[in-house]
């Protein structure tokens, strides 16, 4: 595909006005209490909309990948072919690493999803210059049936793009293309998940990509994380960190909170469909 532009991950953007800040209410979970809920006061734990649900959030890359080039270049299986374990990711011109952006968005989204009752598994536990990985295959397996820990209902991998072409901005959501024997079971639900995330990002004020995909959605079969997933999965390139105006949105807590809100809203919309 369009290898010309893909200098690592990068992408999306929106206007620089910012939206709700990180202190905004954690989702509107004020739906009627369920059978086990308290009909008059705060909902009980079991009445929360995502109670019992398990969500994998995969913050792309790791800050310390840049210090562990040998480790992250180790080839791993990416779906019947090999790719590097991981990459460093991109960065904004002002110096914000993609790994740090994805970490901040993932943590904020995790908090919102927890507030809705979900159990959230992060594929890494820090954003540290001393750590590297995990590899893309492990990121795709966490939460799969048969893996240690709970089985996930959904997986969202969070990235940003680093495209240098003028005018390249906006988000795109990547859903897994069909890869026989790898993801046959998740192609359909992942399509619905991708649409839910696209719609939520648009609702949050972000614009679809000017350079990749159709109406904010792309399809790829070359991404190890998506190929290894046995639960519905998408990868979001939330913006183009090389677009100055978009990068400014991505660098601030207001923008990061808005991305997180969209991710949580999309997961909720998909799981409650």
- Contact residues toward Zn ion (CB under 5 A) are 9, 60, 89, 159
Using the minimum distance from each CB to Zn ion, give the nearer residue, 159 or 169: 159
Report d(CA 273, CA 270) in Å as an integer: 5
Place of tokens 């997933």: 229
User: CB of 23: closest distance to Zn ion in angstroms?
Assistant: 28
User: CB of 162: closest distance to Zn ion in angstroms?
Assistant: 8
CB atoms within 10 A of CB 60: 30
Report d(CA 94, CA 81) in Å as an integer: 35
Using the minimum distance from each CB to Zn ion, give the nearer residue, 116 or 223: 223
Using the minimum distance from each CB to Zn ion, give the nearer residue, 230 or 237: 237
Q: Are 12 and 161 in contact (CB under 8 A)?
A: yes
Answer whether the bond into residue 134 is a cis peptide, omega within 30°. Answer: yes
User: CB of 42: closest distance to Zn ion in angstroms?
Assistant: 39
Task: Please give the distance of CA 131 from its chain centroid, rounded to a whole number.
Answer: 20
List the structure tokens of 56.
């994998």
Using the minimum distance from each CB to Zn ion, give the nearer residue, 9 or 109: 9
Q: Please give the residue whose beta carbon sits closest to Zn ion in the complex.
A: 9
Using the minimum distance from each CB to Zn ion, give the nearer residue, 9 or 217: 9
User: CB of 159: closest distance to Zn ion in angstroms?
Assistant: 3
User: CB of 97: closest distance to Zn ion in angstroms?
Assistant: 10
Report d(CA 109, CA 246) in Å as an integer: 20
């Amino acid at each position: 595909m369009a290898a010309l532009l893909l200098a690592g991950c990068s992408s999306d953007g929106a206007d620089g006005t910012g939206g709700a800040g990180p202190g905004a209410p954690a989702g509107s979970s004020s739906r009627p209490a369920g059978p086990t809920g308290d009909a008059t006061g705060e909902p009980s734990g079991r009445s929360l909309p995502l109670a019992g649900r398990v969500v994998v959030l995969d913050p792309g890359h790791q800050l310390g990948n840049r210090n562990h080039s040998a480790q992250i270049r180790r080839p791993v299986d990416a779906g019947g072919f090999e790719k590097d374990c991981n990459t460093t990711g991109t960065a904004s011109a002002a110096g914000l690493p993609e790994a740090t952006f994805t970490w901040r968005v993932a943590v904020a989204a995790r908090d919102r999803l927890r507030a809705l009752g979900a159990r959230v598994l992060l594929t890494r536990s820090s954003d540290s210059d001393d750590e590297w990985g995990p590899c893309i295959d492990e990121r795709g397996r966490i939460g799969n049936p048969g893996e240690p820990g709970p089985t996930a209902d959904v997986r969202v991998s969070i990235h940003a793009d680093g495209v240098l072409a003028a005018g390249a901005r906006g988000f795109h959501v990547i859903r897994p293309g069909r890869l026989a024997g790898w993801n046959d079971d998740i192609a359909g639900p992942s399509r619905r998940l991708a649409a839910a995330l696209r719609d939520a990002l648009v609702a949050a004020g972000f614009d679809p990509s000017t350079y990749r995909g159709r109406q904010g959605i792309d399809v790829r079969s070359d991404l190890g994380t998506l190929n290894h997933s046995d639960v519905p999965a998408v990868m979001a390139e939330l913006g183009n960190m090389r677009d100055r105006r978009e990068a400014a949105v991505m660098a601030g807590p207001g923008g990061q909170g808005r991305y997180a809100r969209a991710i949580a809203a999309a997961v909720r919309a998909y799981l409650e469909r």
